[in-house]
Amino acid sequence: MIANTKENIDLSLPFRGSRGLYNFNSGPSILPKEVFDEAARAVVDFNNSGLSILEIGHRTKLFVAVIEEAIATLKELMQLDEEHEVLFLHGGASTQFFQVPMNLLDEKRTAAYTDTGIWGSKAIKEAKLFGGVEVICSSKDKAYTYLPKDFVINKEHAYVHITSNETVYGTQWHDLSPFYNSGVPLVADMSSDILSRQVDFNGFDLIYAGAQKNIGAAGVNVVVVSKRCLGKISRSLPSMMDYRNHIEASSLLNTPPVFAIYVCMLTLRWLKRLGGIAAVEGQNNEKAELMYKTIDDLPIFRGTVEPEDRSKMNACFVTTGADIEKEFLSLCEKEGMIGVKGYRTVGGFRVSMYNALPLESVKAMTDLMKHFAQTKG
């Protein structure tokens, strides 16, 4: 327990999750305790079948019921129309960096990409293998600490690609209207903010997201795709890369990551019981407001992103010096604050506040920050 100093701050840090820790990892990340509990039981005996979830056949009624519930629940939460299909595929978002242009971009056409961080940059690199790419805006000039506001989307573009939330640098597109209103098919990497806020998901032609932040366990990728954007390219596609084949096979074209999809189903079930996206968005706003207010109120810390572009999922900040940074990181480790070190190429600190992270964890972190600031005068 940390000793109190100049003001009455609760530093007993009572909420430490199910294992005595505060999990701020950026991904794989925290999941709801009830999901862990149910998944643990299923590893031993799934639905009283006498079999583990790890050994059931993927085409059996046992698993088909799982993936059907996962798809139906995700469609309900996102309020998807009949044109949109939900797929659970192998590989993370990095696979989608090339699968998207492989399916949507011809060699004679050009796609528009926004360069707002590491993941957007990687997506651009892969897309160039399949057709023309125009980077319509970039924030690289200021180390990706803001989102560009002045850009033009040409109606001749095959599609426009955005990273809705930049996990490494901590930026988030809050105003999506320029993309919705462009009249161009919209593609988004939503790996780190999917299901965290209410948006018009039907306004996107394709959404992809690694599951390991807000949807479930690592090992599966969620793709939401409108059927109207498929089948418009001239190239032949490998069977496993063609979204249409996965739609026809209901994500069972080959053996899927059964356990990862099961955890997704449990997490989606949890979110639905919680009250859906609207309910969790309110909680996420409260967590982000507390976190950023603390950063701004303490001179020893400094947020690295322009305030209007700050992510509500990943709060990135630094301290006033390298020695202080090491000292604060050491204190975080001592107090069970896991995963707060910034991305390896960026440094500083990153507090990830995904759907399953309780407000109590953010309160514990902000109390620790206040205490640390007091000890430094």
- Residue 371: beta bridge partners? none
Which whole-number Å values give the CA distances from 60 to 54, 248, 258, in the listed order?
13, 18, 11
As a 3-state breakdown, the chain gives helix, strand, coil percent values, each rounded to 5, of 40, 15, 45
Residues whose CB falls within 8 Å of the CB of residue 216, separated by 6 or more in sequence, listed in order: 31, 35, 260, 261, 263, 264, 265, 266, 267, 268
Q: Are 369 and 294 in contact (CB under 8 A)?
A: yes
Instruction: Give residue for tokens 């125009």.
Output: 134
Catalytic residue among 115, 189, 205, 242: 189
Q: Which of 205, 213, 312, 341 is catalytic?
A: 213
Instruction: Report which DSSP code applies to 260.
Output: H
Question: DSSP letter string over 282-298?
Answer: HHHHHHHHHHHHHHHH-
267 membership: H or E segment, kind and range: helix 258-274
Those residues whose C-beta lies under 8 Å from the C-beta of residue 349, and which sit 6 or more positions away, are 316, 317, 318, 319, 325, 328, 329, 340, 341, 342
Beta strand ranges found along the chain (DSSP E): 22-23, 84-89, 110-115, 132-138, 160-163, 165-166, 171-172, 186-189, 206-210, 221-226, 301-303, 314-319, 337-338, 349-352
Q: Quick one: which of 275, 270, 273 has its CA closest to 198?
A: 275
Per the residue annotation, which of 115, 119, 173, 270 is the catalytic one?
119
Is 189 catalytic? The answer is: yes
270 tagged catalytic: no
Residue reference for tokens 């990095």: 94
Residues known to be catalytic: 119, 189, 213
